[in-house]
Structure 1
């Protein structure tokens, strides 16, 4: 009988993905501000938000299979050119654009909603699209769900998003929990 898992380290990632981690590559979301600042060797970088540092210093270096479903995940590494030639003017330009984007999304008033979306369940050989309906807070094109997930409203399996004038009776704790999760997510990304 053939080993069906010969290219994988358990069910988390392929052996090549594990090797990429050892070589300093990782997915975009796994890079922290502290790591980027220390690798840049310039303490002035600590004054910039994580989103700006990721845009400036990271470059896509490879992709690998991850998860038990062998999803394709892009891996990023620090650009040696960006480290050698740190351009403060370019960093300031990126920072200003990022700040304007954040302000624009902060101006947009959050709306309470009910969102219907499809979620794949079952096994890899027998997948099935199950429809879910959850309360959400919508800001721009993003819906923050009561389950803690974030959905792009322009995504493939989003069926509907019905905004609510006010929270239905008895759902105030649900929306408070969603707001707490949103604040926590913002702290992690800044």
Structure 2
């Protein structure tokens, strides 16, 4: 299928209306996320600026997220390497049609349920939140690297 310019449901010929709405909520394709965008969005979330639509399918409220210890959480995320920051803390939230060929593109957003759960666990256990977030992200990276490495065919030249 090829999209024509201003076809119904499309903005121009490169993006669906729903994809544009997802961008407005803060969701983006993985290729658009970088360290700066992730830190800015996490800060926005902790300040209570999250779009209500992103909370619809969770048991969380804006207050649940603004009640997290902002200074410790942000310090941990700022200290994380980019690949761990994006890999461990982004989750696929939706898909939308993009391009003139109506490709299906996955959109991502910071995993707010995981963030809330991990931070509250650390607080409940009397642990240092910043240190626990770093350890949790490193454990995630180690598990996913091992899984990727085990499923990749490495050939010797």
After superposition, what is the alpha-carbon deviation per residue over 1:27-53, rounded to whole angstroms, capped at 9, x for unaligned?
Answer: 112111122223334122122222211
Give the Å deviation of 1:96. 4.4
What residue number does 1:80 align with?
Answer: 112
Between 1 and 2, higher relative CO (CA 8 Å, sep ≥ 6) is seen in: 2
The alpha-carbon deviation at position 98 of structure 1 amounts to 7.1
**5+ unaligned residues in a row in structure 2: which ranges?**
44-73, 120-131, 148-153
Distance 2:76 2:29 in 1: 24
CA contact (8 A) 2:88 2:141 kept: no
Identify the residue that residue 35 of structure 2 maps to in structure 1.
Answer: 33
Matched, 1:65 2:97: yes
- In structure 1, the gaps of 5 or more residues are 102-107, 112-190
Q: Is the 8 A contact 2:26 2:41 kept in 1?
A: no
1:83-112 deviation line (CA, Å, top 9, x unaligned): 3234522212234467889xxxxxx9xx8x
Q: Which residue of 1 aligns with 2:14?
A: 12
Q: Name the structure 2 match of 1:170.
A: none
1:47 alignment counterpart: 79
Structure 1 vs Structure 2 CA RMSD: 2.9
Structure showing the higher helix proportion among its residues: 2
Q: Residue 29 of structure 2 contacts residue 106 of structure 2 at CA under 8 Å; is this kept in 1?
A: yes
C-alpha separation in 2, matches of 1:61 and 1:100: 25
Conserved? CA contact 1:48–1:95, under 8 Å? no
Deviations 1:41-79 (A, max 9, x none): 412212222221122221111110000000000111122
Select the structure of larger CA radius of gyration.
Answer: 1
Give the deviation of 1:6 after TM superposition: 0.9
| Greater strand proportion | 1
Contact 1:64 1:75 in 2 (8 A): yes
